[in-house]
């Protein structure tokens, strides 16, 4: 049936939490109520990426891009746009959008969507929509037209590196497993995304689950495996639901299971749910968890490619890496390697969050600069504040400061300035952020997530956190800085796995670029950003205070005294530095310092 319009509604987790599903249901109801259900097809999609503006509705073929759409807008969208053919201007992101493609919106202009190619385009709950966009054509090509060696050679020529953080060449890894002699081999997808602020893999699994299944099946054919596992954290219920649905549909279509597409090749996939342990993102800990053991890393070598799940050769890649595979097979290595930099090919998906105007999920060619990401795509710093730093690589990464805004984003360039690619979290900070407070947050996270198996991580991490906590309270001493550095070096050299080895990175990075803030906290007992409570104070300026009593009424500990229409005073010994008085005062009579 041909439709006049197609209404694409974001139904990813972010938009779902903003009444996206209620919006979808209301649109469905209005289409029927207004007799327009034969005019337009309603499509529930994955994430559009522009999370700051969600829920999003995109209407084809005229590319109308509606943002912050609420269920109560459904009636007008149907009556005006679908029935009368008139855009609802107040909902348009760009009020001058008529005749323009949504790709012309600044947020999308410098993006190139390969991993996210189907997110926001297809309904991820229907396999036919994936197939209509060349889905499973790469698998067919691998089964009937290519040898395993040709597949591996194509991946090597493409220059695809693992997107889980380490950047190991994918073709090389697959080659190790293919050449290993064993009676059983396995394929594993690492969907245990645990970095604070990261949601790249979740959104891909929600918006395009079949791309993961197809890629894993291609790997099975290439290395000689017949069983795959997707290890995903249980906190991702929508992704789990859509992956299970996709697996059932692929089996029904003969794309998973015995004799795929009528060939002699059989391969199947199961889900394994993780309990949210960050350490299970480390591949040996992840494999132990799949086996039903406690998720704790083991020394390498041997590496999983040769001795992995249940002691058998295992290919393990993360979601983003898998999602690239079908496109490389279909379009060829020359196409993929033409994107990116000399050493890092293709694109990278980032979860852009923090003090940024346009937060969301983005995909950019490798080599794109941080300045382009923050100012051209991200729309600059929220509230006109000054950019301070961006943290890449999550708790394992480091900060990128203003002087490095024009550094191209690739593995080697980020490492050269003390940061790292990581899985793709990018948190933007402004002048109001305290670097000691930020570093303490990451250390607290890694301390909590340490499996406790090795002493350098277990003891070193806790000791470093305690020193940072001491500095943030104005109790630090100059020798603490040397202790932080010594402990960091010991953890880097002696920790068993990547979690402990990289946990000190935020310390070393912030000490390198923001040493003056550490010195201020230690010597001057001052936090310039006003984030470290023990170093803060609130005082009332006498000639500005009119005695309105608003501050006294919101103080939770009753430490503000004074008569009505007369200046008030804050009892510093009782003040808990909650800041409610500062927020409540309308006369700028309270100073924070």
For residue 31, the domain's CATH number is 3.40.30.10
518-551 residue pLDDT tens: 999 999 999 988 889 888 889 999 999 999 999 9
Q: What is the mean pLDDT of the chain?
A: 93
pLDDT at 112: 96
Considering the domain architecture, whether residues 444 and 406 belong to the same structural domain is answered as: no
23-73 residue pLDDT tens: 999 999 999 999 998 989 999 999 999 999 989 999 999 889 999 999 999
Question: Which of 54, 78, 107 is the endpoint of a domain?
Answer: 107
**Residue 480 in domain:** yes
SS3 400: strand
**Residue 214 in domain:** yes
Residue 239 confidence (pLDDT) above 70 = yes
Give the number of domains in the chain.
5
Say if residue 565 is exposed, middle or buried (CB neighbours under 10 Å; 0-12, 13-18, 19+): exposed
* pLDDT confidence tier of residue 1, bands split at 50, 70 and 90: low
Considering the domain architecture, whether residues 198 and 328 belong to the same structural domain is answered as: yes
Phi, psi of 364 (to 5 degrees): -130, 155
Considering the domain architecture, whether residues 243 and 141 belong to the same structural domain is answered as: yes
**Residue 532 in domain:** no
SS3 509: helix
* pLDDT confidence tier of residue 499, bands split at 50, 70 and 90: confident
Residue carrying structure tokens 């929220």: 382
Average pLDDT over residues 436-449: 94
Considering the domain architecture, whether residues 143 and 278 belong to the same structural domain is answered as: yes
**Residue 121 in domain:** no
**Residue 530 in domain:** no
pLDDT at 57: 95
Question: Which of 74, 107, 140 is the endpoint of a domain?
Answer: 107
132-180 residue pLDDT tens: 999 999 999 999 999 999 999 999 999 999 998 778 999 999 999 999 9
For residue 393, the domain's CATH number is 3.10.20.600
For residue 310, the domain's CATH number is 3.40.50.11540
Which domain covers residue 443, as residue numbers? 435-524
Considering the domain architecture, whether residues 360 and 332 belong to the same structural domain is answered as: no
Return d(Cα 519, Cα 481) in angstroms, integer.
Answer: 9
**Residue 341 in domain:** no
Question: Which of 286, 308, 336 is the endpoint of a domain?
Answer: 336
Considering the domain architecture, whether residues 250 and 163 belong to the same structural domain is answered as: yes
**Residue 112 in domain:** no
Residue carrying structure tokens 């991820």: 124
Considering the domain architecture, whether residues 504 and 561 belong to the same structural domain is answered as: no
pLDDT at 555: 95
Considering the domain architecture, whether residues 87 and 145 belong to the same structural domain is answered as: no
Return d(Cα 115, Cα 364) in angstroms, integer.
Answer: 10
Residue 99 confidence (pLDDT) above 60 = no
Tokens of 178: 């293919």
Considering the domain architecture, whether residues 166 and 285 belong to the same structural domain is answered as: yes
Considering the domain architecture, whether residues 416 and 559 belong to the same structural domain is answered as: no
**Residue 100 in domain:** yes
Residue 517 confidence (pLDDT) above 70 = yes
Using a pLDDT cut of 70, give the percent of the chain over it: 99
For residue 449, the domain's CATH number is 1.20.1440.230
Considering the domain architecture, whether residues 236 and 205 belong to the same structural domain is answered as: yes
Considering the domain architecture, whether residues 200 and 272 belong to the same structural domain is answered as: yes
pLDDT at 109: 92
Total-model pTM: 0.91
């Amino acid at each position: 049936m041909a439709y006049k319009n197609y209404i694409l509604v974001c139904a990813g987790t972010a938009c779902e939490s903003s009444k996206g599903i209620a919006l979808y249901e209301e649109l469905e109801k209005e289409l029927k109520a207004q007799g327009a259900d034969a005019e337009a097809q309603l499509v529930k999609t994955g994430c559009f990426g522009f999370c700051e503006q969600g829920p999003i509705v995109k209407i084809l073929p005229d590319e109308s891009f509606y943002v912050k759409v609420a269920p109560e807008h459904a009636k007008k969208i149907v009556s005006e746009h679908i029935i009368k053919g008139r855009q609802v201007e107040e909902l348009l992101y760009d009020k001058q959008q008529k005749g323009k493609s949504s790709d012309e919106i600044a947020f999308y202009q410098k993006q190139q969507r390969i991993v996210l190619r189907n997110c926001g385009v297809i309904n991820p709950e229907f396999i036919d929509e994936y197939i209509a966009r060349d889905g499973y054509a790469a698998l067919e090509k691998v089964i009937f037209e290519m040898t395993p060696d040709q597949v591996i050679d194509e991946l090597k020529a493409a220059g695809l590196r693992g997107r889980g953080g380490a950047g190991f060449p994918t073709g090389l890894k697959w080659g190790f497993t293919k050449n290993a002699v064993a009676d059983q081999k396995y394929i594993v997808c690492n969907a245990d995304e645990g970095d604070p602020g990261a949601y790249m893999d979740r959104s891909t699994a929600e918006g395009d689950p079949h791309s993961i299944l197809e890629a894993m099946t291609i790997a099975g054919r290439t290395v000689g495996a017949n069983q795959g596992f997707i290890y995903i954290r249980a906190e991702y219920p929508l992704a789990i639901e859509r992956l299970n649905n996709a697996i059932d549909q692929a089996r029904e279509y003969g794309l998973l299971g015995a004799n795929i597409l009528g060939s002699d090749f059989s391969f199947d996939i199961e889900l394994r749910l993780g309990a949210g342990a960050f350490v299970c993102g480390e591949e040996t800990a992840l494999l132990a968890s799949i086996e039903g053991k406690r998720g704790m890393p083991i020394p390498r070598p041997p590496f999983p490619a040769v001795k992995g799940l249940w002691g058998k050769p295992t290919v393990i890649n993360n979601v983003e890496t898998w999602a690239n595979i079908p496109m490389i097979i279909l379009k060829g290595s020359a196409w993929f390697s033409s994107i990116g930099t000399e050493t890092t090919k293709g694109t990278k998906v980032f979860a852009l969050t923090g003090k940024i105007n346009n937060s969301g999920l983005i995909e950019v060619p490798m080599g794109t600069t941080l300045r382009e990401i923050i100012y051209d795509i991200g729309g600059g710093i929220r509230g006109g504040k000054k950019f301070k730093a961006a943290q890449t690589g999550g708790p394992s990464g480091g900060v990128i400061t203003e002087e490095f805004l024009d550094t191209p984003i690739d593995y080697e360039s980020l490492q050269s300035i003390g940061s790292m690619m990581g899985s793709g979290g990018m948190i933007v900070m402004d002048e109001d952020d305290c670097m000691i407070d930020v570093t303490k947050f990451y250390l607290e996270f890694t301390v909590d997530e340490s499996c406790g198996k090795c002493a350098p991580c277990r003891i070193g991490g806790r000791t470093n956190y305690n020193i940072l906590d001491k500095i943030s309270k104005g109790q630090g001493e100059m020798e603490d800085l040397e202790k932080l550095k010594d402990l960091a070096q010991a953890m880097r050299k002696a920790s068993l796995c990547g979690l402990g080895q990289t946990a000190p990175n935020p310390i070393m990075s912030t000490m390198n670029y923001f040493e003056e803030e550490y010195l201020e906290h230690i010597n001057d007992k001052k936090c310039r950003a006003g984030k470290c409570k023990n170093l803060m104070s609130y005082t009332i300026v006498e000639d500005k205070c009119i005695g309105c009593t608003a501050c006294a009424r919101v103080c939770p500990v009753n430490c503000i005294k004074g008569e009505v229409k007369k200046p008030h005073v804050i009892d510093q010994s009782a003040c808990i530095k909650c800041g409610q008085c500062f927020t409540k005062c309308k006369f700028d009579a309270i100073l924070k310092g």
